[in-house]
Structure 1
């Protein structure tokens, strides 16, 4: 009996799939280094190579958020490329995610997707858009509305721009200043991204420490 070869998976675009089909693909043919999303019976698998531009902007934004939260005395946990799951409903793997504030428990120390129905959604999720800007602003924005996050940032690395959305009652609207990190203006993040084009990370971090220290 001749076996049937598995069909190649469609990547970097949304395709219709039930939750059962999605999970079966994750367990069988989706590479472990893929980034996977599911929402409203649609799935997306991203396999685009990530170069220095994506990685550097990811690091700059991560460092900035951690410094700001630390100096402001905010309780926070950062998670990178972590899957957040509402079983049967949503699956998301943002570039960076943060639990912020007093109302969360430390996530479990294992390699299973974080159960959002048990542990809650991260208050802040961030996508670094080097090749996926339209999707990050569109369908993923709807995904994070339904997942239950409080704020969603899209970092347009080509334009050195941060587009931030506050989410409430499963609706989102653009904001110029973070609500999750009170007082943090998007222009500060954009200045850091611009400086990263000609300055090293240590120089940018010293500037951020001085900038945030003046505000404490």
Structure 2
């Protein structure tokens, strides 16, 4: 008779399922593929295995370039992290598409491949999810996750609609905003114009347009 205790059980993917922190960590260490994206919040876990195609990757790059360029020209201090795990042990675990530490109040992240301990290093001020197949979840459960993680601002990029939905977070509650508070003066309409341009322009052309736009704003301000 063959025992079943050692037979790996199929992983439920792309939906939230109840799990303890210990169960979540066991899955991460033994079952979940390394290319999966994993989330945990208050007794619930989610493993995402949906393939990330060209649309997701392209819009990720456009948004990343825009944010870094804006911060550079505005003289802001910034560190960008892509597909990085941010962890509050026992409470939350998140892997946003892009995350930014912004301002003077953070230390450079550790130079290793362990998850960033949010209790030690703080949560990134800005987190961004590129929603190609996960829009409802990004606007729902993940929004609550980032509220509890401690970030100051959360953007959801709806790549199908070329729309950016931004939330300011304070006191573990969030509300929609049309202009970034973390990157003062940056309107969501600017990001949406860049996404629309990406449908018919190459990245270098878009970057030159952004340089002209942000450079004009800097001179005018």
Give the structure-1-normalised TM-score: 0.99
Over the aligned positions, Cα root-mean-square deviation in angstroms equals 0.8
SS, match of residue 67 in structure 1: helix
Compute the displacement of 1:130 (Å): 0.2
In 1, the alpha carbon distance for the partners of 2:75 and 2:86 equals 26
Question: What residue in structure 1 maps to residue 14 of structure 2?
Answer: 12
Compute the displacement of 1:87 (Å): 0.0
In 1, the alpha carbon distance for the partners of 2:49 and 2:134 equals 11
Q: Which runs of 5+ in 1 are unaligned?
A: none
Compute the displacement of 1:4 (Å): 2.8
Question: What residue in structure 1 maps to residue 120 of structure 2?
Answer: 118
In 2, the alpha carbon distance for the partners of 1:171 and 1:103 equals 21
Deviations 1:174-205 (A, max 9, x none): 00000000000000000000000000000000
In 2, the alpha carbon distance for the partners of 1:2 and 1:73 equals 65
In 2, the alpha carbon distance for the partners of 1:133 and 1:121 equals 22
Compute the displacement of 1:49 (Å): 0.3
In 2, the alpha carbon distance for the partners of 1:204 and 1:2 equals 60
Compute the displacement of 1:2 (Å): 3.1
SS, match of residue 23 in structure 1: helix
In 2, the alpha carbon distance for the partners of 1:214 and 1:87 equals 45
SS, match of residue 181 in structure 1: coil
Written as runs of structure 1 = structure 2, the 5 A alignment for 1:50-89 is 50-89=52-91
In 2, the alpha carbon distance for the partners of 1:78 and 1:85 equals 17
State whether structure 2 residue 160 is matched by structure 1 residue 153. Answer: no
In 2, the alpha carbon distance for the partners of 1:161 and 1:72 equals 24
Which of 108, 111, 118 is 1:109 aligned to? Answer: 111
Which of 199, 208, 211 is 2:210 aligned to? Answer: 208
SS, match of residue 73 in structure 1: coil
Give the structure-2-normalised TM-score: 0.97
Deviations 1:89-147 (A, max 9, x none): 00000000000000000000101000000000000000000000000000000000000
In 2, the alpha carbon distance for the partners of 1:92 and 1:33 equals 14
What number of residue pairs does the alignment pair up?
Answer: 216
Compute the displacement of 1:3 (Å): 4.5
In 2, the alpha carbon distance for the partners of 1:4 and 1:181 equals 53
Q: Which runs of 5+ in 2 are unaligned?
A: none
